[in-house]
Structure formats: C-alpha cells, structure tokens
Amino acid sequence: MHPIVLILLSLRYAHGLSSFRENDVLKYDNSAKNNASEITEQWIEQPIDHFVARNKFWKMRYFKRLDLWKPNGPIYLYINGEWTASFRSIQSDRFLTCQLARDTNGALFSTEHRYYGASLPVYPVTTSWLKFLSAKQALADLAELIKHIKSTDEFKSSKVVVVGGSYAGNLAAWMRVLYPDLVDAAVSSSGPVLAKKDFYEYLETVNDVYEKYGSSDCLNRIRRQFSHYSELIKSSGGIETLKREMNICDETDMFVVENQQLFFLENFSVFQSKAQYGTPETIRKHCQELSENNWTHFGVNYKDGSYCNDYNFMALIEGEKSDKKSAMFFWLYQSCTEFGYFQTTTSNKQPFGNGTPVDLYIKLCQGIYGEDFNEERVNDGVTESNVIYGGLTPNVTNVIFTHGDMDPWHRLGVLTNLSETVLVRMTNGTSHCDILSQSRGEPSALMDDREYVKTLIKKWIA
C-alpha cells in the first residue's frame, strides 16, 4: 500500500466521521442472510440542483424492504452519510431500524448520499460541479424520495421516521428542521450538529477517555512520547533521530513544516480511532500495549519492498486531486465549505503536543480544491450552516439525540433536553453511533437506552 494511502486513512479517522461497524454486527446475526432476499435496490431521478435550475438530473440509489410492513404501518428511512451505502442497516435484526419496523409493522428504506458510492451526479468531477455537494441539496434529495414513496396509495397515510448516525445523524435532525411536514420523528445518533472550524475539543475528549478508562500512568506515557517527538523536530540531529526511531523513509523531508504536521496527525490518529470506535476494554488494552513501549505506527511497503513511513504533504495533495471518486475527496470538500470539524492540537488539555494547527487543514482545502478555498470561505460556510440548521438549538420537535461519552463527536452535539419532545440520551462507556446496532457484550445501559429510544419513537408516531 502506498504511503499516501495510509495518510489518507489517517485523515479518515482524524477528519471524517463514519458510522458504526456494520460487518461486526452482521458477523453474529443469523437473521441477516434470510432477510437479505427481501431487500431490493432502487433508483430515483433527482435534480442536480433543487433550488435554482432544476434542468439537469441524475439517479440516486436507495434500498427497500417491505416484508415487515402491513397497511398503515410507518416508514423508516435510514440515512447513509459520507460513505458508500449498503442495505445492511435494514437487513439485520440487530439494527435499531429493523427492530422498530418489526415492532410496528414498518417499511424499511435506506438511502445513499449524493456524490458518495454509486450516487454520483456527474463524472468526471470538477471543482465547479462540487458546488452541488451540500447537506442542503442532500436533504432535498431525501424530501423528494419521501414524496415519491408517499405518492403511492399504500404509503399515503404512513408516518415517517428518519434515522441516522454521525453526519447522517445531523441530516436526520435537520430533516425535522427543513421538512417537518414530511417527517414525523427523527433519531440522531452521535450527530455533531454544531459546525465549528477549530474542533480542538475532539482531542480533549480523547484525553478524557484515556484518563477515565486507561491505566493510571497511561496518559502521562502518551504525553511524554509526543513531547519527545516535539523536541526532536526542533533540530537537524533530532530529525535524523526521529526518522530512525519512527522508520520514516529516507527521502521524506521532515524539515518541511507540513510534513511534520502530517506526522503528528497520523500518530495521534491511532488514539482517535480507539476512542471513537472503541470500548473501555479497548482503551485498557491499548494502555497495556503502551506500557510495554509498543508504540503503534503505520508501516508501509515502499519501493523496494522495505517498510517505511512517508509524510509528504504535496504528494498527499496530488494523490487526492487525482482520485475524484474517493469518499475522502468529497467529505473534505464538505468540511471546507460547510462544517470545518478540523481536529487540531490548539488546546493544551490534550497530550499530543501542538503539531497540528488549523492552518494544516486550510492548506489541504486550498491545495486540493483551489486557492479561493481559504480560511474566510471556511468561516463563511460554518456560519451559514449554523444559521440554517440552528447549531445546538435547532428549531425542531420529536427528535431524540443519542451519544456515547467516549465519542469525541459528542462535544459538538446537543447534550441537554431542549423541550419535552427534543430529548437527549448519553450512555457512559459507549462511543460513536453505538445505539444504532446491538453488539455482543454491550453494557446493559446501552440496551436500556435503545429501548427508551424505541418507546419514544412509537409514542411520537402513535
């Protein structure tokens, strides 16, 4: 695997959201194979631009499952976010959507977000066509799909519930903001509904997770190691030592500031992924590994078959510009134009030094999409998103927001009840989107909270 590919994977952990691990759930579910035969792939024509010129169209993919449905039963629409969609979220009885549908004789649908997976409006993609990639356009796609489904007699009187996790959790809540006449209730799991350029709170939460669930000296070990890296990059001799210790490729120029910043980003991304997708036991085990000085970092097959790590900012830019069908290419665009979400080391309440500033992400935006994708443009997009959708106080009813305390993204989510019909459930010892699927060995509190969500949705759709 090319070194730059691994840095992109690091950015995926560090910068993208990504939802829960479907494969882990299906591995233990015997019902999934039988249910798969009940699911069909569907396509619907959508305008590229819903708001100005509805004169060009494309086909959006979605999936449908009706074996649990009975007349007048509700519609459950599972929203997929910044990844290639699959029908798994409406396949397994371990998923919240399927449990709700089975309890209430519901119809199941699962959507794919424009520009991700097979739902690509234009190809080849140019920067000028990317202007149609936005949450607002994606929400309009969902509205058109709901209208299409409800235009048939069988679903005319059905209530509609939308469910989403992560960025798609935002979309679920925002459907109630923009289309309350089409959607009756929403489940928003791990949704960072507040757009924010400098998301320094992410690494603060990683700090808290290792302090709470790790061994007593774990956080100090992490801090000492990253302090060691920070000292080494201050001198030419130190940089040579760093390259030897961390198996950095000979030709990688670690005197380039952006390359140094990539180094820090990649090496703290290991801790990010443990917090965002792990459990308390995951953190305890990782701390045990660190106590044995087993510092995990990527090794890549490079040129002659030897293994080394490459941190090359310009190669990263060129690699991403050349792959205009990757999820990272599209998600970074949304970050640069709508949400920010730049996970930085600007706070001193985290153990990873100060090697990854906002400036690195701004340079990524400009390097990949053009010089006009500057900090001012990021600021404008963040402000506009919070104005449109309401930030931490969205104008909604019948929305349940769920979070895990280990998930760093909860720091940008709604954390307190806003009304009798805008409620929050925080589950300790859980992380990103955990409530959306039942897993082996999950804490009893998570089971209880999932039942609470199901009871609430049934109440709201009567």
Whether 273 and 418 share a structural domain:
no
Whether 400 and 446 share a structural domain:
yes
- Concatenating the DSSP letter of every residue in 125-145 gives --GGGGGG-SHHHHHHHHHHH
Whether 123 and 202 share a structural domain:
no
Alpha-carbon gap, residue 381 to 366, rounded angstroms:
15
Phi–psi pair at 328, nearest 5 degrees: -65, -40
How many domains are contained in the chain?
2
Q: Residue 77 pLDDT > 90, yes or no?
A: yes
pLDDT band at 441 (very low <50, low <70, confident <90, very high): confident
Whether 157 and 81 share a structural domain:
yes
Tens of pLDDT along 344-390? 999 999 999 999 999 999 999 999 999 999 999 999 999 999 999 99
* The dihedral formed by the CA atoms of 243, 303, 300 and 225, expressed in degrees to the nearest 10: 0
pLDDT the model gives residue 2: 39
Q: Residue 252 pLDDT > 60, yes or no?
A: yes
Tens of pLDDT along 283-319? 999 999 888 765 544 434 344 556 789 999 999 999 8
Give the CATH number, domain containing residue 81: 3.40.50.1820
Tens of pLDDT along 1-20? 333 444 454 455 444 555 54
Whether 313 and 425 share a structural domain:
no
pLDDT band at 26 (very low <50, low <70, confident <90, very high): low
Domain boundary among 385, 415, 448: 385
Whether 56 and 140 share a structural domain:
yes
DSSP state of 419: B
Q: Residue 424 pLDDT > 50, yes or no?
A: yes
Whether 142 and 65 share a structural domain:
yes
pLDDT the model gives residue 32: 63
Whole-number average pLDDT of the chain: 91
Domain boundary among 366, 385, 404: 385
C-alpha 200, offset from chain centre:
17
Domain boundary among 385, 408, 433: 385
Which residues of 220-284 form beta strands (DSSP E)? Answer: none
pLDDT the model gives residue 142: 98
Tens of pLDDT along 127-174? 888 999 999 999 999 999 999 999 999 999 999 999 999 999 999 999
Alpha-carbon gap, residue 200 to 212, rounded angstroms:
19
pTM: 0.93
Whether 89 and 228 share a structural domain:
no
Alpha-carbon gap, residue 449 to 188, rounded angstroms:
13
pLDDT the model gives residue 216: 82
Alpha-carbon gap, residue 186 to 394, rounded angstroms:
13
Q: Residue 177 pLDDT > 90, yes or no?
A: yes
pLDDT the model gives residue 124: 78
Whether 58 and 7 share a structural domain:
no
pLDDT the model gives residue 6: 42
Q: For the chain, give the percent of residues with pLDDT over 70.
A: 90
Whether 264 and 340 share a structural domain:
yes
Whether 144 and 243 share a structural domain:
no
Q: What share of the chain is helix, strand, coil (3-state, %, to 5)?
A: 50, 15, 40
Whether 78 and 215 share a structural domain:
no
Q: Residue 230 pLDDT > 70, yes or no?
A: yes
Tens of pLDDT along 110-121? 999 999 999 999
pLDDT the model gives residue 215: 85
* Residue-number span of the structural domain to which 220 is assigned: 3-15+197-385
